[in-house]
Structure 1
């Protein structure tokens, strides 16, 4: 590799990070604008805005989301069926070498942002990843890099998009290396760190640098360590169930004109349920904050967690595109809080927030199939120190181990 070629690669890598940061900032701005327009609030969290707005707004906003999403994806996917050049290409396929069509990718990401902003129960993280991967792929082609270098840059771009929209620079880098590239080497780690760091820095012009969730610092205690060992496999089982339910819903979503009926009906139903349980709406941050802050009665949080699970699976089954990162975190936090509250009756000595946080990490590790990414994201989302690392690692290991055994048994025909 000549010095000139190395300099070009460095410039391209930095530009991937800048583009991902700009894309993440635009996604955040558009999402907030839609939320504020739909629910009429200008400050505070999404849940606070929901509670201040008239309850009927929840149903109306979800109805609009169902119509916009249904019509939008019916047209977009129909376009792809008629002409393969305009088919939606996921980030993983782009990392594998496929080219992402520009207009289709941007429209697909835009639809995700619109429905999440209106309250749809699905994650927002796929949109910035797709936009950043599109930019990285286009830039790589213009720079004339090799196929391997393009693969690395597209994966790093997607990770940087995640880093930008949530201000999780290390989490974005680990996501790219562990999930998209599955290769830990000098050639993958350095660009992943550089692109995610640059993207997060650029996006901070818009995205607050504060932790996504406000959680008290949880000290290490014997009771929480023992609970982590025992709860890990159980949380793993629950996470596998969620993954299978989401996969089933994905396989059986309406493929053609049925989405025009199914999506509005499902979304309105979720909106009606949200009249009594508003925390089920959105990408999961509302429930996540409630669970991690232990701000509601435990049984009520458990009920909201069950409803959030059903709403997310239903949203996927209705044909919506999006992610399950923040919904998984929220569901795991709700389960961890509930299980931790029962455990404290037997062995008190730890704050409830610690159980919710550990449950969130373990559940997320299984649904993402990425224990390191889940650990890093939870620490960055909550600004936790190293005190809780041991129980976090033990619970994540137990949950992922159970998930692996179940999947292995499923492949070999045992389960």
Structure 2
């Protein structure tokens, strides 16, 4: 098992490194940046690119997404999710290696070209496939294979974002839903190795740059007040995403949808260069307090539209960074309104963007502890900020659960034979 943990961490780290390099290479080629003296990050590169190039990149993303996933569905083996592969009591169905690899590459290529979905699912799936092979070669017991597959996915996440703690908590909180000593030991070891391996190529860096963040009474009050609002927003976005995914295009129809949705995104990027990609650029602007209320609200609405459009068109990808960005933009709007319209001490907009992003991510993805760890590792924020982070996340989770319970009650009451209905009483 120790050999399996070591091998899984190394392989997931190498896989995450390769996928990150491929992503950056395609971004540079598509938007023409990265040369000496020019833009060196994705948002700057997209902003500096001419409008025709932005439109062409999104059109190319539509072609790759539509044709690629149609062909995969037509000629490849059925895809198996990581959760289904991990299983609840033992390894479930194995993930088909070749089809999963094609699925992974399609995600990386489309995100690099400007798809609004996240890139984190691809390294997780690649890590899980590699871990499955490791467990099979080492002839691990069923329970140990289950742990190793989850470790491969978490180590892949740790590799691309340099988040060893977030990767370990993702394994335990989301995939295994257990904290036994054996699972914790394997999760921590694999995630640490997965995060360390890319340092030699990608460097030991964090995702977002932040300025000094100070805990003030105003920030604490804002966290208590804004948390429930953010939770309600996350619940609404979750429902929209569920509708879009349930109605996602299939078969040949996926080609048509992608050839319509992605070019329309390309048109929008001619006016808003912050839209392409998973949302890291807008989130960085929010953390730096470089977005006004009007621009933040506009980007929030457009981000929701393009994310749901991509899901409806049948594109695949993650929702980690997109949900973090939606929360950061929503918090920016709330904090700006707070400063302008309420007779209360002002709050730092960049600070509230971090609080809102973490709270939205944790409720939207149903992983509050992992979201908190990711937010801390993404930014290296100081210890004192953990208190308002916890408060905002708790308020958001509470409101999200209340909304979800209300939805369940509404569904039950709408059924013709629900207890208490007219037909049931008769």
TM score, norm. by length of structure 1: 0.95
Deviations 1:282-332 (A, max 9, x none): 011011111111113221122111101111111111100111000001110
Deviation at 1:59, TM superposition (A): 0.7
- 1:208 maps to 203
The reply on whether 1:383 has 2:366 as its aligned counterpart is no
Within 5 Å, which residues of 2 pair with 1:15-164?
15-42=7-34, 44-80=40-76, 86-96=77-87, 97-164=92-159
Three-state SS of the structure 2 residue aligned to 1:156 is: helix
Q: Does structure 1 conserve the Cα–Cα contact (< 8 Å) formed by 2:335 and 2:347?
A: no
Deviates more, 1:205-214 or 1:326-335: 205-214
Measure the CA separation in 2 of the matches of 1:145 and 1:411.
41
Give TM-score scaled by structure 2 length.
0.92
Residue 383 (structure 1) shift: 1.1
2:371 corresponds to which of 369, 374, 377 = 374
Name 2:399's counterpart in structure 1.
402
How far apart, in 2, do the equivalents of 1:208 and 1:413 lie? 50
- 1:334 paired with 2:329, answer yes
Q: What secondary structure sits across from 2:202 in the alignment?
A: coil
Q: Is the 8 A contact 1:79 1:87 kept in 2?
A: no
**Among 291, 294, 297, the residue aligned to 1:299:** 294
Q: Is the 8 A contact 1:50 1:278 kept in 2?
A: yes
Aligned length in residues: 402
- Alignment match of 2:306 (pick from 294, 308, 311): 311
Query: Unmatched 5+ residue regions in structure 1?
Result: 1-8, 81-85
The CA deviation at 1:207 is 2.5
Question: How far off is 1:349 after superposition?
Answer: 4.3
Q: Shift of the alpha carbon at 1:247?
A: 0.9
Runs of 4+ off more than 6 Å: none
2: CA distance, partners of 1:343 / 1:177: 37
What is the 5 A alignment of 1:113-262?
113-262=108-257
Query: Runs of 5+ in structure 2 lacking a partner?
Result: 413-426
Q: After superposition, where does 1:341-356 map in structure 2 within 5 Å?
A: 341-345=336-340, 346=342, 347-356=344-353
1:253-301: CA deviation from partner (whole Å, max 9, x where unpaired): 1111111111111000011011111111101101111111111322112
Find the residue that maps to 1:277 and give its secondary structure. coil
Tell me how far apart the structure 1 counterparts of residues 273 and 204 of structure 2 sit (CA, whole Å). Answer: 26
Report deviation, 1:20: 0.5
3-state SS of 1:279 partner: coil
Deviation readout 1:138-184 (Å, 9 max, x if unpaired): 11011111111111111111011000001111111111110111101
Q: Tell me whether 1:12 sits opposite 2:7 in the alignment.
A: no
Aligned-residue RMSD, C-alpha: 1.2
Contact 2:338 2:346 (8 Å CA) reproduced: no
- Contact (CA 8 Å) 1:25, 1:203: kept in 2 or not? yes
